[in-house]
Amino acid sequence: MADMLEAAFRNYNTSGFIADDPISIPHGFSRLQDQEIIGFWAATLAWGQRKTIIQSARRLVELMDGAPHDFIINHVEQDRSRFLDFKHRTFQATDTLWFLEFFQQYYRKHNSLENAFARHLLPGDVTTERALAGFHRDFFDSPDAPDRTRKHVATPERGSTCKRLNMFLRWMVRHDEAGVDFGVWRQISPAQLLIPLDVHVERVARRFGLLQRPQTDWKAVLELTENLRAFDPLDPVKYDYALFGMGVLEKSSPGQGNPVLPTSAR
């Protein structure tokens, strides 16, 4: 099992992963804050077809004049009108406007989004569970925060798998020579990360006996990640590439040329 997972990880954790994946959007920037803002947004929108996700994220970049952090810091209320027609599946204008409001208030006081997660961790925390729950509370800590937007920013306190937030944290925290994940955050350890659990990962994990819990919920995320720690306790979430990659290949038809590269889109 260990050798198979390692081989699959090496096969999919390559630069070829980037171009057709939503992670390509933050890879278009070198500035930390730009990577954080558009990375968080791209991860939030990452469900459905990869092409559509990337198109939506690129549209957001255009609406922010190609400079997410500068726009977030300096835009005025009138500038938000350009976002009123933006939508991606169930992510609508109301959600977009709240993201703009949260980011502006946050980045006018803080240099990096990392602290919005890391500040909730306590010494000895094995996972990022407390960080995810605390971030969710902070994100909606205003009487003006729209209830409908809560479905787009998950929390383990409601039993959600938090797959998009876990994916975003993987992007920001993991680092290796392949350069797919950014590894720009240092207050959170790769050992604390949790698996972004989607249908592809779940299917393969169950087949190999890595996941027994019948429900697809937060406890399933904890169970699977704990089992993956047996193979690499310092970087268990690297096997997201392996499990998701194998899941995608199961869905691809034989005789169609090169295998389909896995995606961060869930």
For 3-62, how does the pLDDT look when each residue is reduced to its tens digit (9 = 90+)? 999 999 999 999 998 998 899 999 999 999 999 999 999 999 998 888 999 999 999 999
The whole-angstrom distance between residue 141's C-alpha and the CA centroid of its chain comes to 22
| 262 within domain boundaries | no
Q: Is residue 66 part of a domain?
A: yes
Looking at residue 169, its pLDDT comes to 98
Alpha carbon 199 to chain centroid, angstroms: 15
State the burial class of residue 250 (Cβ atoms within 10 Å of its Cβ: 0-12, 13-18, 19+): exposed
pLDDT at 251: 61
Q: What is the pLDDT of residues 184-230, one digit of tens each?
A: 999 999 999 999 999 999 999 999 999 999 999 999 999 999 999 99
In a domain? residue 51: yes
Judge whether 99 lies within some domain. Answer: yes
Query: Which of 136, 135, 140, 139 is CA-nearest to residue 117?
Result: 135
Please report whether residue 244 resides in a domain.
yes
- Helix, strand or coil, per DSSP, at residue 178: coil
Residue 79: predicted pLDDT: 98
Tell whether 259 is covered by a domain: no
Output the pLDDT for position 254: 43
Q: What is the pLDDT of residues 154-176, one digit of tens each?
A: 999 999 999 999 999 999 999 99
Q: What's the structural domain count of the chain?
A: 1
Contacts 24+ apart (CB under 8 A), 59-67: 59/86, 60/86, 61/25, 61/28, 64/38, 67/34
In a domain, 29, yes or no: yes
Query: What is the band of 248 on the pLDDT scale with cuts at 50, 70, 90?
Result: confident
260: in domain: no
Per-residue pLDDT reduced to its tens digit, 75-106: 999 999 999 999 999 999 999 999 999 999 99
What is the extent of the structural domain holding 182?
Answer: 2-251
